[in-house]
């Protein structure tokens, strides 16, 4: 069994790897890795918003403030992803990708830092609660949108409903996109 902290860290690793591949490749390969990057970030952001940030909200005080700040960071990322979604990696889009990732990597560093989101959750929940949250996170991650939806709510019941309604459309759109070969290492 994997706790919620490790699940989030695994997502962060996947996102960083996809970005490294976008940077290291050209042409169609870069386009495939950009699709993978967008897919990974979209799923991760939605799962965090549905499972991780509510944990911080329940802890209250500074933890709730961290969740609110993280939601703002996610909103900026989703807006940037929305502008990149469906585009090819070109000399014009590379700076957009780099700017978006610079901000996202700062957000990830905050989440992983001492007194960041993950540290506060680790300190505030029991081992069993962390494991249970890990199960919920992984289950949720399988059922969230795979594309950015910056206009969707980022908390509350409508967030879940909006995500579940968007998922089939996103999956259909994914069928018409190229992704890295499954044999390629995604981590």
Structural tokens at position 39: 């897919």
Asked if the structure places residue 92 within a domain, the reply is: yes
Asked if the structure places residue 27 within a domain, the reply is: yes
Asked whether the predicted pLDDT for residue 178 surpasses 90, the reply is no
Asked if the structure places residue 187 within a domain, the reply is: no
For 89-134, write each residue's pLDDT tens digit.
999 999 999 999 999 999 999 999 999 999 999 999 999 999 999 9
Asked if the structure places residue 182 within a domain, the reply is: no
Say what the pLDDT of residue 187 is: 47
Q: What is the 3-state secondary structure (H, E, C) of 31-98?
A: HHHHHHHHHHHHHHHHHHHHHHHHHHHHHCHHHHHHHHHHHHHHHHHHHHHHHHCCCCCCCCHHHHHH
What is this structure's pTM? 0.84
d(Cα 185, Cα 112) in Å, to the nearest integer?
23
Asked if the structure places residue 123 within a domain, the reply is: yes
Asked if the structure places residue 183 within a domain, the reply is: no
Asked if the structure places residue 180 within a domain, the reply is: no
Asked whether the predicted pLDDT for residue 65 surpasses 80, the reply is yes
Asked if the structure places residue 12 within a domain, the reply is: yes
Give the distance, in angstroms, between the CA of residue 149 and the centroid of all CA atoms in the same chain: 12
Structural tokens at position 109: 């560093």
| 49: containing domain | 4-175
Contact indicator for 68, 79 with CB cutoff of 8 Å: no
Letter string b/e over residues 117-151, b meaning 16 or more CB atoms within 10 A of that residue's CB:
bbebbeeebeeeebbebbebbeebbeebbbbbbee
SS3 152: coil
The burial of 54, by beta-carbon neighbours within 10 Å (0-12 exposed, 13-18 middle, 19 or more buried), is given as middle
Overall number of domains in the chain = 1
């Amino acid at each position: 069994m994997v706790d919620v902290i490790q699940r989030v860290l695994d997502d962060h690793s996947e996102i960083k790897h996809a970005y490294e591949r976008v940077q290291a490749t050209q042409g169609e390969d870069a386009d495939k890795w950009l699709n993978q990057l967008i897919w990974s970030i979209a799923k991760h952001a939605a799962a965090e918003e549905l499972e991780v940030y509510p944990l911080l909200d329940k802890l209250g005080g500074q933890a709730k403030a961290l969740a609110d700040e993280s939601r703002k960071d996610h909103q900026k990322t989703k807006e940037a992803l929305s502008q990149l979604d469906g585009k090819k990696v070109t000399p014009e889009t590379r700076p957009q990708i780099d700017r978006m990732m610079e901000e996202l990597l700062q957000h990830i560093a905050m989440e992983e830092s001492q007194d960041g989101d993950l540290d506060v959750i680790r300190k505030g929940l029991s081992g069993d609660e962390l494991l249970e949250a890990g199960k919920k996170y992984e289950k949720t991650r399988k059922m969230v949108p795979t594309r950015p939806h910056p206009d969707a709510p980022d908390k509350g019941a409508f967030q879940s409903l909006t995500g579940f309604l968007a998922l089939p459309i996103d999956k259909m759109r994914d069928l018409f996109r190229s992704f890295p070969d499954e044999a390629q290492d995604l981590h």
